[in-house]
Structure 1
Amino acid sequence: MVEGVVRGQYAAKYLSDPVYRRKIARQLNRGKSIHALRRQLHCAREGKVARRQPEQQNAQAWCPTVVTNAVICWHTEYLDLAVGELRAAGREVDAEVLAHISPARNSAVNYYGSITIDYE
């Protein structure tokens, strides 16, 4: 009975408050971007578990998590440096805009290890 009341209160708040709906949508989008990054990183082995022993399978399953965390830390560091440079140059960076930027991006990740060099 109490669970139904809590769900009703949540539904009422969600339906009546557009700011709250945007906050929930932003959180869901961040979760989706993290899962997309993990999925893309896991595809290096085409999503296959290549080990026979359970402890080796467990170790293989944790590898994408470690790499995902490393990518997110890398992007966080460089986003911070970019914001710092903009502010040092006298440009104003709105905190509201920064709230919408997620470091869980996969567009800047070189998955296959090939590097393109522009000779010009």
Structure 2
Amino acid sequence: MFKTLHILTYAVEEPYRRDIKGIRNLQESRHALAGKIFHGRKGEVYQRYYKGMEDQLGALGLVLNCVTLWTTEYYSRAVLELRSQGREVSDEILSHISPGHSDNINFFGVINVDVEAELAKLDTSGWRPLRPAQLRELGLTP
């Protein structure tokens, strides 16, 4: 019964189709990010036993959730900063921004970090300062 109602609603109501497409696009962006994170061995699970596969996929899920959380937190901070400066950031624009964005992530190579210098940059609440280039990437500044 549910499937029939779903198919009929999908066929008749355009807003419902748009909502479904938006959900699919969001899920696909999450899968694309997971593929970029899991690029080693061409994104395939090579463990020969179930426990190893479960561990490998669990680690991927943990890293994916961390990246998504980090991106979401900094997007939120960027929007709050822009709004505090008097810039209008409409909810319509924000509805098109996905935490699956990954241009700011270095997936390849070695990252050298001067821990002391990075810690010195943190503000009093423990956050890194926002950079204008990051706001431009989001399309939130001219």
Q: TM-score, normalised by structure 2?
A: 0.67
Counterpart pick for 1:61 among 57, 63, 67: 57
**Cα pair distance change 1:15/1:53, threshold 3 Å:** closer
Moved over 6 A (4+): none
Deviation for aligned residue 1:14: 2.0
Unmatched segments (≥5 aa) in structure 1: 116-120
Q: Any stretches of 5+ residues in structure 2 without a counterpart?
A: 112-142
User: Matched residues, percent identical?
Assistant: 36
Match of 2:16 in 1: 20
Hey, what's the Cα distance between the residues in 2 that align with 1:62 and 1:7?
31
Q: 2:100 matched to 1:104? A: yes
Whether contact under 8 Å (1:76, 1:103) holds in the other structure is yes
CA contact (8 A) 1:26 1:100 kept: no
Give the direction of change, closer, same or farther, for the CA distance of 1:50–1:86 in structure 2 (3 Å limit): same
Q: 51-60 vs 25-34, which deviates more? A: 51-60
Cα shift at 1:57: 3.3
Q: Please report how far the alpha carbon of residue 50 of structure 1 lies from its aligned counterpart in structure 2 after TM superposition.
A: 5.3
| 2:110 is aligned with 1:88 | no
Q: Which structure's relative contact order is higher, taking Cα pairs within 8 Å and 6+ residues apart?
A: 1
How many pairs were matched up?
111
TM-score, with structure 1 as normaliser:
0.77
